[in-house]
Amino acid sequence: MILKNKKILIGVTGGIAAYKTCELIRALVKAESDVRVVMTEASQQFITALTFETLTGNAVHRDPFEQGTKHIELARWADCIVVCPATANTIAKVASGLADNLLTTIILAANVPVVFCPAMNVQMYLNPLFQRNMAALKQLSYRFVESEQGELACGEHGWGRLADTAQIIDSIQSVLYNNPDLHGKRVLVTAGPTVEDIDPVRFISNRSSGKMGFALAEAAMLRGAEVTLISGPTRLKPLSGMNYKTVRSAGEMHDEVFKCWEDVDILMMAAAVSDYKARQIQNQKIKKQDESLVLELDRTADILHEAGQKKGKRMLIGFALETDHETENAIRKMMSKNLDLIVLNNPLEEGAGFDVDTNRVTLIDSSKQIIELTVMSKIEVAHRIIDHIIIHMQNNEFITA
């Protein structure tokens, strides 16, 4: 949603990681961004312009004197400039204000966000001169997607590996989404399923993928909030820079939520927390027997109910997954748990099932106002939920304990 129709200029410099830029461009094109590429002379020793022309559908720009004022045209065209990979040499040039090729000239002429994705040998990365140049550019509000530790092309191991594509995408989204309406707010989001062990190999859980909770955390962070995400087991990766905690059981999630409680302004409880746990976890695998097995279960802690009792001036948002009498059940849950907003969905409806990228929800607030949303991506749903939270904040419509 954020990247759609955005004009993104990719600057490719002379490093072996240039081949990884193809993956970034494919992701941006898939997100319906308009992507153009500028290559330095050195980068053309590692990858061809034809590769990028094929991926973007646009001509690649290389000549610093191309059409005279091309650097101005491209600097004004772009919504964001991403240098990937960014070599120590190019970063040094920009830090010194040099403009000796098309890319550095565009950067000097640009008044849009510039994101550097450094990639180099570990000793180059740790060199005080490079660190000084990177620090100087950060002070001037240039963005960096920090290199990772790992195996490098030269065979050494350490800092300097190009960041993961997902992290780069996260950073691009962050600089493009210029709507910090949650700035200064501390948001706690729970996501995913919880797992309750029965024995060393079996457990009770549910089909939650965590996608809705992760979308909420991402949307809140993009809108300026300080976000903590607590998640049960999922295959998802959080947005770079987020305070991320992983848990397994309902009890662990309960403990982590209330460790953070004093620093929370808004709680969005999107996790599918197990309602029951085994009364006794067996130390050994339960053997199959001819007769039926009776499993005794106890209730887990009701995290959202406890949060409602300790609410104070915090804003609480809960989720209700219902398959019958949906609205009545959701309103009952909202009132009993002292919530400001409840998000209702039925997994049997088209577009609202488990482990899919879309959702269809109904928002019900404390005044019992009902807003039905159409099927949309989970990140769009997340932003709609936050829009509703912003309205409540502006109107100061908080239920206080």
Measure the CA–CA gap between 201 and 9, rounded to whole angstroms.
50
Q: How far apart are the first and last CA of the chain?
A: 37
Measure the CA–CA gap between 363 and 334, rounded to whole angstroms.
11
β-strand partners of 197: 203
Under 8 Å CB-to-CB from 362, ≥6 apart: which residues?
Answer: 326, 327, 330, 343, 344, 345, 370, 371, 372, 373
Measure the CA–CA gap between 25 and 148, rounded to whole angstroms.
20
Catalytic residue among 84, 117, 154, 260: 154
If one counts every other C-beta atom within 10 angstroms of the C-beta of residue 320, the result is: 22
Query: How buried is residue 178: exposed, middle or buried, by Cβ count under 10 Å (0-12/13-18/19+)?
Result: exposed
State yes or no: is 84 an active-site residue: no
3-state secondary structure of 106: helix
Distances from the Cα of 38 to the Cαs of 63, 74, 148, 273, 372, in angstroms? 9, 9, 24, 48, 45
Measure the CA–CA gap between 299 and 290, rounded to whole angstroms.
28
Asked, as a colleague might, if the bond just before 193 is cis with ω within 30 of 0, I would say no
Active site residues: 154
